[in-house]
Amino acid sequence: MSQATVKQAIDSLGEAISQNPKTAQLKYRAEVIWNGDVHCTSTIRNLPPVPVDEPAAFGGGDAAQSPGDLILTALGTCQGIMYAALASAMGIELTSCKIKLSGNLDLHGLFGMGADKGIPPGFQDIEFESIIESPASDEELKQLVDAVEAQCPILDTLVRSISVAGSATINGKSGYISAKAA
C-alpha cells in the first residue's frame, strides 16, 4: 500500500464513522492454546496461528516471541502504523520509520519473591525511540510525533489504567473470577 492508499482508506473510514458513529466500536478477540512446556499458539480471526515461546532460560525453546516481546512488538507496530496513517492524513511523506523498544523486568516479581519489596511481576518500565526520516520540516514532524503519541491505541492502553477482568472454567465448572484490575 502506498501512502495515498492509506490516506484514502483512513478518509473512507473517517467518513463512515461520521455517518454512523456505531461503526467506530470494535471488539478484538484472540484465542490462545497451551501446547505444552512454555509454548502456546495464538489464533486471531482466520489468520495463521502465531506461536509464542519463552527463551531457554525460562524453559522454552526460544522458537518464537515471548509474551514480553509481544507487548513491545504491539507497541512498536502500533506506533509504526500510526506514523504511516497520520503522516498520510497530514500530507507528510515518510522515507523511513523505525521504532526501537526495550522493557525492564525484575525476576523477583515474576517468581513471587518481590511482593514484600514492591516489585511487580510485569515490566517496570518501557522505553521507545522513534527514528523518522522524511523530507518534511522538523516542525511538521514534531506535530506528527505529537499526534502519534496522542492517538496510538496501544500506547494509550499501556499508560492508562483500564479495566481487566478474568474468569476461569475449572474442570468444566465456570464462574471462578480469577483477575480484575482497574
Residue ranges of the domains in the chain? 69-182
Q: Which amino acid is at 54?
A: E
- What are the tens digits of pLDDT across the range 22-77? 989 999 999 999 999 999 999 999 999 999 999 999 899 999 999 999 999 999 99
| CA dist., res. 165 & res. 50, Å (int) | 24
Q: What is the mean pLDDT of the chain?
A: 93
What DSSP letter does each residue of 26-48 carry, written as one string?
-----EEEEEETTEEEEE-TTSP
Task: Copy the grid coordinates of residue 53.
Answer: 515461546
Sign of the CA dihedral 86, 28, 2, 69?
positive
Given a cut of 70, is residue 1 above it in pLDDT?
Answer: no
End-to-end CA distance of the chain: 38
Contact 70, 103 (CB under 8 A): no
Give the least confident one: 11-15, 61-65, 105-109, 145-149.
Answer: 11-15
Predicted confidence (pLDDT) per residue in 92-117, tens digit: 999 999 999 999 999 999 899 988 99
**Predicted confidence band of residue 88 (pLDDT cuts 50, 70, 90):** very high
C-alpha cell at 173: 465448572
**DSSP type of residue 155:** H
- Whether the predicted pLDDT of 182 surpasses 70: no
Strand order in the sheet with 50-52: 31-36, 39-43, 50-52
Task: Give the pairing type, strands 125-133 and 31-36.
Answer: unpaired
Pick the CATH number of 69-182 from 3.30.70.270, 3.40.50.10320, 3.40.50.12500, 3.30.300.20: 3.30.300.20
Given a contact cutoff of 8 angstroms between Cβ atoms, the answer to whether 100 and 79 are in contact is no
DSSP conformational letter for 49: P
| pLDDT given for residue 107 in this prediction | 92
The overall longest dimension of the chain from CA atoms, in Å, is 61
Angle ∠(74,133,1) on CA atoms, nearest 5: 60
Name the residue among 162, 161, 168, 134 with its Cα closest to residue 148. Answer: 134
* Residue 180 or residue 133, greater confidence: 133
